[in-house]
Homo-oligomer: A and B are copies of this chain.
Amino acid sequence: MKIKCNQNNFLNSILTVQKASSVNTTLPILQGILIEAKNDHLVLTATNLELGIESHMNAEILDTGRVVLPSRLLSEIVRKLPDAEIELEVKDNYIVKLSCLNSVVTIQGLDPEEYPALPQVSDGQKLELNQKMLSEMIRQTIFAVAIDESRPILTGALLEVSGNTVNMVCLDGYRLALRRGRIEKAQKDRSVVIPGKSLAEIAKIINDDNIDITIMVAENHVLFDLGDTRVISRVLEGEYLNYQQIIPSEYKLRVKVDRDILAASIERASLIAREGKNNLIKLNIKEGKMIITSNSEAGQIYEEIPILLEGSELEIAFNARYLSDVLKVVDDQELCLDFNTNVTPCIARPISGDQFTYLLLPVRTFS
């Protein structure tokens, strides 16, 4: 194998696929990147067996072939090379010679035959999604994915298509995040649960361009096709929770509040709350104002913010982080908080429309 390519293009491809390469693994080959010189272009591949990323790039192919190179060292070296032409040549025993202007680097590579092939995802159902919208959907839900592995299905995000609607749902037993999107062409109903870790890496690769990404759902895998880059993730097996039935359809009181004002108060209250056991903040909802308080060993805080209240007054307590996580990702200037009692969930939703629904379980502290 012998190729010539541009340093900057090569670096971009390496950094893209590197997101799937393993740092700590008992299989050293998975710390590597598979580099394949095809007839007319170069393909870089990395996988941690759950997530695989493939990047296709232009290169002058002098000799086809394949080799595996250590991901971290390769990216660091290519990053430090000047923006000029790189020649990459595989010698005996997978030794790779990289030349660029007056630098020659020789790296020990690994046998490409040992590198696991990415699963073929070719005959699944296709779905076209706007990249920018997908990126937002991930950002606005993924924080609620379960970290705890006790219910593995909840470590994934549900991607659910029905007619012209696409939903992304994450929930961890204490809170739920639902983001709705629209698709132009109505689709057959289907759903898939994608591991949260995979989705976090996918979010780093897709950009905010207003162009479509093709998603292909097969039995065990899902493919995100961005043209030059293809991302393949394992999907989680099993039934996702019937989340619709835990979202209350009615509310007794509704609070309308400015997001920035609420977020600033919650952030300050969190500084006191985090020194306590339960990271607890209390909301005292009154006509025209909400009083936010927290007590811990570190001290006390009292915050008063203006609200618009429909319904009766209420005192309720939350884990401060669950509230601040929601306020960090909502883009709307104002939002609604709907309540029933102080032992039933609070729902955060937009003033109009149904683009997002966040459900937060309160903490029982009042007798």
Contacts and interface: CB of A to CB of B under 8 A. Distances in A.
A116 to B, nearest CB: 23
Count of chain copies: 2
Given A80-B264, A81-B268, A267-B80, A102 B305 contact: yes
B76 A271 contact: yes
Interface in A78-115: 80-82, 102-108
Contact of A301 (B105, B297, B303): B105
Given A80-B264, A264-B80, A268-B80, A302 B73 contact: no
Given A73-B275, A76-B271, A104-B302, 12 more contacts: A73-B299, A77-B271, A82-B264, A103-B303, A103-B304, A104-B301, A104-B303, A105-B268, A105-B300, A106-B300, A107-B298, A108-B298
Contacts of A264: 80, 82
Nearest to A105: B301
Interface range, A side: 20 to 34
B303 A102 contact: yes
A103 B271 contact: no
B102 A298 contact: no
A364 B62 CA distance: 42
B103 A301 contact: yes
A76 B103 CA distance: 48
Interface in A244-303: 264-265, 267-268, 271-272, 275, 297-303
A298 B98 CA distance: 13
